Structure 1
Amino acid sequence: MQQHYLNHANPTNGGVVPNPSTGTRSQSNLDEDWLLIAGIVLAFSQLGFGFLEAGSVRYKNAQSIVIKVFLGLCLTVLIYWLFGYGFSYGDDFGTYFMGGTKLGAYNWSATETQNDYSNFVFRATLSCIGVSIVSGGAAERLTFLAWGVLALFYSGFVSPAIVHWTNKDGWLTKLGYKDFGGAGFIFYSAGVAGLIVTIVSKPRKYRFEQNSSLNFQAFSSIYVAFGTIILFATWMFINGGQIQSGQSTPYIQGLVAVNTLVAGAVGGFWSFITRYFTKETTSLFSISRGILAGLVVSSAAPHESQIWATSIIASIAGIIYTLSATALPKVKLDDPVQIVPIFLHGGFIGILFTGLLDINGGLFYGKGMKLLGCQLLGLLIITVWVAFFVFFILIVLKGFGVLRIDSDTEVAGIDKEKCNYEAISFTNEDHQQVNIIKTVSY
């Protein structure tokens, strides 16, 4: 049994663990340096998402989707500095809704109990990850204007509210809801947003028309694999960066890292196995995205899960990813980056199974139904909040006629029409042979 370190005080989202010897809050310079380093490393996750999304779309749109990832990064950092950080971590004056201080870096401080500068770097880059996920739901369809507006609205208002509710003093956390590294407040919420974007923007032109011979083959499984391994490495800092008081909880750091590593490996393995036995083929797309699904579930409670429990949850995530990735096109859901199977389903599984297998509150440990009920409530609140506001802003954009690219641009490719040239060019490309029948297989 691992209870000697699993039963340490819970370092919740954004919190500082009390010093066990004095009962007071303290952070060393080493802890602050670790938080800052984690935030810097998380910036590299944007490269991972760039590879992941460029490899998942058609080659004629590879440049435009990476531009959207980087545009989301720029806009998120700016809006998070002005509003998002304050909304997430500012004082809410007893309303429990959203913070109202620390806006625009006003009254930021660096003290023994709180360093807003280091915390901003980590939290802003973490928020950028959520926005990059949402961009996958907009792949090959949204205009740059529509994407920019959505990114600002999501990272400046929609996501910070959820973060505020689930941080150490948030009302959901006080009820008993647990989400250590963002399985709910980052990945599940972004997955819900991506689903709404995919539904409202509708499938890519001719995607599900039987008489169409337009090529919808994803550009490069190698790019997806490159992006996955970059994200695998940075995920250690997504989860590990949440430990902001490593000296008072020295064993938790290692447990979080091990659970993260194991979850990614197990998710990829079971995705591979499921694909092999259901379709009798292998797929680099499948094993790569299965790894990501496993990593998503690891963010729910890696500090309070035994390793065997994490492996079970990640196995379920890998299997569900493969099955749902196959099923979603059958219901005409056009999700080329697989945002729904990876992040929405993965986040849901991670949060749900925390209510069952969390060693300090899970039902299977004889702790009753309270945590499971709180987890389900949290998922419901996140779903309703994100779905309502993302749907609202998309409908407004659609009403102004700026939501989706025009048909000619969609067929020719966004790179060629809106980015001056295609990022990927083939010297032997025959433009007279554009409509080639190919099987889309993820």
Structure 2
Amino acid sequence: MDYGIAIDTVWVLVATALVFFMQAGFAMVETGFTRAKNAGNIIMKNLMDFAVGSVAFWVLGFGIMFGPDLSGYIGKVDFLSLGSFEHLELSIPKEAFLIFQTVFCATAATIVSGAMAERTKFSSYLIYSLVISAVIYPIAGHWIWGGGWLAQLGFHDFAGSTVVHSLGGWAALMGAWIIGPRIGKYTSDGKTRVIKGHSLTLGALGVFILWFGWFGFNPGSTLAGTNTEAISHIFVTTNLSAAAGAIASMILSWSRYKKPDVSMTLNGALAGLVGITAGTDIVSPSGAVMIGIISGIVVVLAIEFIENVLKIDDPVGAISVHGICGAVGTILVGVFATDGGLLYGGGTKLLLVQLIGVGAVALWTNVTAFYLFKAINKTVGLRVNSEEEEEGLDKKEHGTESYADFQPRVVYLNSDQI
């Protein structure tokens, strides 16, 4: 037995389990930051985008993403992932690599649900989760991780700030824009109303789960449990960026709103995690702190801009956390990379390549997602009707309620019973 291969394989499978658990984190964040009447619908969407995405990625997406390169833009289609994929020169079994990449694909798809929460038809959600998992995500992923044209340029996105997070964020942007805001989000004169989520506790639990899962997301992308030095370094940079992001968002929200805002601080931690994911392997701990600080500041400003200026209703801040901070973090690799970064004497070459990659994935995702959501809207429809939205998607879409009625029953006794 080759013990090195065994260690690498077990490490990748453990990391896979950690990334899979991030589905629970996303579910808790989205549920907590939205209203109780839609909690079951959100849980169902987070469950089914993983289920649908797993099958779609296995049937079609994996081959498109990692099959032999065809002109730099797409991998050779391999239905049911039956090929040997020897060209990848993996040190682990193909099935271990397949399941690891499957949970990454599911992460990209689930980002969209938060931005479109509380007004999207369940059937429509299943359709776009299928298309994102089978086609949109794998093609962009091939450009970067499958040996495509961006990889050939030297684009660096170690664990997916752009491949996973920005792609999911841009798709969320198109979906939230096309579907429109929730009823009551904006007044007739354009002023923004706050629609509070029903449980900051659930939202915070989700963030802690995501932070925990990110220790599989980033270090697991080494695909090598024997590379202890790299794994250890990535653990440190991942954690420092998340911590710095939370601190920066807390300070900025405290300054702007006169109180340290809980939801903004939670999103700041996520922003730091998203931001560091691209360069976690090639930035120093101090560089990770700087990326976290910048991401934590950017997420607050981006949430305000998207909500108040663009008038796009994103209940959980997914567009800002994943789309904007994913792009910012990827670009900052060109600044803070210890080998080739602008601050380390590397000039602008890497920075320009990072800008090209971010722009290309943004363009690809925005265009394809726009037409996808428009097509769904014209056919089966994206949005529930106003009555269903007001009563809640749990009742109308699933015929259930997520929370039992805990209010005490009042029993009136007559004088003979006292």
RMSD: 2.2
**Structure 1 residue 130, shift from structure 2 partner:** 0.9
* 2:247 alignment partner AA: F
Aligned residues: 403
Q: Where do 1:43-442 residues align within 5 Å?
A: 43-92=20-69, 94-108=70-84, 113-167=91-145, 169-210=147-188, 216-247=195-226, 249-331=227-309, 332-428=311-407
**Structure 1 residue 288, shift from structure 2 partner:** 1.1
**Structure 1 residue 296, shift from structure 2 partner:** 0.3
Deviation per residue, 1:315-359 (Å, 9 max, x gap): 011112122223332122200010122111210110111111111
Contact 2:5–2:92, Cα closer than 8 Å, also in 1: no
Distance in 2 (alpha carbons) for counterparts of 1:257 and 1:385? 31
Contact 1:86–1:99, Cα closer than 8 Å, also in 2: yes
Deviation per residue, 1:183-212 (Å, 9 max, x gap): 010001111111111100011123202599
* 2:187 alignment partner AA: E
Deviation per residue, 1:156-204 (Å, 9 max, x gap): 1000011111016222011011100100100011111111111000111
* 1:390 alignment partner AA: A
**2:16 corresponds to which of 39, 43, 67:** 39
Distance in 2 (alpha carbons) for counterparts of 1:234 and 1:213? 34
Distance in 1 (alpha carbons) for counterparts of 2:90 and 2:376? 45
Distance in 2 (alpha carbons) for counterparts of 1:207 and 1:167? 39
> TM-score, normalized by length of structure 2?
0.92
Alpha-carbon distance change, 254 to 169 in structure 1, aligned in 2, over 3 angstroms: same
* 1:239 alignment partner AA: N
State the SS of the aligned residue for 2:330. Answer: helix
Alpha-carbon distance change, 325 to 112 in structure 1, aligned in 2, over 3 angstroms: closer
**Structure 1 residue 280, shift from structure 2 partner:** 1.1
**Structure 1 residue 66, shift from structure 2 partner:** 1.3
Contact 2:334–2:340, Cα closer than 8 Å, also in 1: yes
State the SS of the aligned residue for 1:241. Answer: helix
Contact 2:74–2:148, Cα closer than 8 Å, also in 1: no
**Structure 1 residue 124, shift from structure 2 partner:** 0.2
Distance in 1 (alpha carbons) for counterparts of 2:359 and 2:313? 24
> TM-score, normalized by length of structure 1?
0.87
Gaps of 5+ in 1: 1-25, 430-442
Gaps of 5+ in 2: 409-418
**Structure 1 residue 213, shift from structure 2 partner:** 12
Distance in 1 (alpha carbons) for counterparts of 2:67 and 2:182? 41
Distance in 2 (alpha carbons) for counterparts of 1:134 and 1:41? 21
* 1:103 alignment partner AA: F
Distance in 2 (alpha carbons) for counterparts of 1:426 and 1:44? 29
Alpha-carbon distance change, 324 to 210 in structure 1, aligned in 2, over 3 angstroms: same
Contact 2:186–2:193, Cα closer than 8 Å, also in 1: no
Contact 2:53–2:133, Cα closer than 8 Å, also in 1: yes
**Structure 1 residue 104, shift from structure 2 partner:** 0.2
Alpha-carbon distance change, 215 to 379 in structure 1, aligned in 2, over 3 angstroms: closer
Alpha-carbon distance change, 398 to 282 in structure 1, aligned in 2, over 3 angstroms: same
**Structure 1 residue 36, shift from structure 2 partner:** 1.3
Distance in 1 (alpha carbons) for counterparts of 2:7 and 2:348? 38
* 2:350 alignment partner AA: L
State the SS of the aligned residue for 1:205. Answer: coil
**Structure 1 residue 245, shift from structure 2 partner:** 3.0
Deviation per residue, 1:36-80 (Å, 9 max, x gap): 111122111111111000011111111101111111011000001
Deviation per residue, 1:251-309 (Å, 9 max, x gap): 11111000001111111111111111111112221211110000001101111101101
**Structure 1 residue 374, shift from structure 2 partner:** 0.5
Distance in 2 (alpha carbons) for counterparts of 1:275 and 1:384? 31
